Amino acid sequence: MKIGIVGLPSAGKTSLFRALTHGSATQEGHSGISAGAVPVPDDRFDWLVDHHKPKKATPATVEFVDGPPSMGEETRKFVANFLAQVRSVDALLHLVRAFESDILGAPNPVSDLQRIQDELTLADMQMVETRLERLDKTLHSTKAGVVTPQTIERDLMREIKDWLDAGKLLTAFEFTEDQLKTISGFEFLTLKPAMVVANVAEDEAGKDVSGAAAELRDYCEGNGLPFEALCAKLEAEIAELPEQEHAEYLEAMGLDRPAREKVVREAYRATGMISFFTAGDPEVRAWTIAAGSHVIDAAEKIHSDIARGFIRAEVANFDVVKACGSWEEAKRLGKVELHIKDYVVKDGDVIYIRFKI
CATH assignment at residue 325: 3.10.20.30
328 is a domain residue: yes
Indicate the number of domains in the chain: 3
Q: Is residue 311 part of a domain?
A: yes
Query: Quick one: 80 and 127 in the same domain?
Result: no
Which residues in the chain land under pLDDT 70?
A: 23-32, 67-82
CATH number at residue 153: 1.10.150.300
Half-sphere exposure of 239 (CA within 13 A, CB side): 21
The chain-wide mean pLDDT, for the chain, equals 89
Distances (CA, A) of 59 to 41, 55, 101: 8, 13, 38
Does 34 reside within a domain?
yes
298 and 242, same structural domain? no
In a domain, 48, yes or no: no
Given this model, what pLDDT does residue 30 score?
44
Q: Which of 145, 169, 190 represents a domain boundary (last residue)?
A: 190
Same domain, 211 and 77: yes
Question: Which residues on neighbouring strands pair with residue 3, listed in sequence order?
Answer: 64, 91
Distances (CA, A) of 173 to 150, 226, 227, 288: 21, 18, 21, 26
pLDDT tens string 199-253: 999 888 888 899 999 999 999 999 999 999 999 998 898 888 887 787 788 877 7
Q: Report pLDDT for 245.
A: 80
Domain boundary among 236, 270, 304: 270
pLDDT at 320: 98
On whether both 180 and 85 belong to a single domain, the answer is no
Residue 68 forms part of a structural domain: yes
Taking a C-beta distance cutoff of 8 angstroms, is the pair 71, 77 a contact? yes
One-letter amino acid for residue 182 of the chain: T
47 domain-assigned: no
pLDDT at res. 26: 55
| CATH number for 76 | 3.40.50.300
pLDDT at 331: 96
| Per-residue pLDDT, 145 | 77
Conformational region of residue 156, where left means phi above 0, alpha means psi within -120 to 50, and beta covers everything else: alpha
Same domain (yes/no): 104, 215: yes
342 and 241 in a single domain? The answer is no
Supply the pLDDT for residue 76. Answer: 52
Q: How far apart are CA 66 and CA 18, in angstroms?
A: 10
Domain presence at residue 51? no
Q: Are residues 36 and 121 in the same domain?
A: no
* β-strand partners of 65: 4, 35
Examine the domain organization and report whether 87 and 221 are in the same domain: yes
Q: What does the pLDDT look like over 242-279, one tens digit per residue?
A: 877 877 888 777 777 788 888 999 888 888 899 999 99
Asked whether residue 7 falls in the same domain as residue 99, the answer is: yes
Of 239, 270, 301, which marks where a domain is finished? 270
Instruction: Tell me the three-class secondary structure of the chain, residue by residue.
Output: CEEEEECCCCCCHHHHHHHHHCCCCEEECCCCEEEEEEECCCHHHHHHHHHHCCCEEECCEEEEEECCCCECCCCCCECHHHHHHHHCCCEEEEEEECCCECCCECCCHHHHHHHHHHHHHHHHHHHHHHHHHHHHHHCCCCCCCCCCHHHHHHHHHHHHHHHHHCCCCHHHCCCCHHHHHHCCCCCCHHHCCEEEEEECCHHHCCCCCCHHHHHHHHHHHHCCCCEEEECHHHHHHHHCCCHHHHHHHHHHCCCCCCHHHHHHHHHHHHCCEEEEEEECCCEEEEEEEECCCEHHHHHHHHCHHHHHCEEEEEEEEHHHHHHHCCHHHHHHCCCCEEECCCCECCCCEEEEEEECC
On whether both 198 and 186 belong to a single domain, the answer is no
First to last CA, the chain: 30
Residues 104 and 202 in one domain: yes
Do strands 227-230 and 273-279 pair parallel, antiparallel, or not at all (unpaired)?
unpaired
Do 100 and 186 share a structural domain? no
Q: Is 322 a domain residue?
A: yes
Domain that holds residue 14: 2-41+59-108+193-270
Q: How far, in Å, CA of 188 to CA of 166, rounded?
A: 16
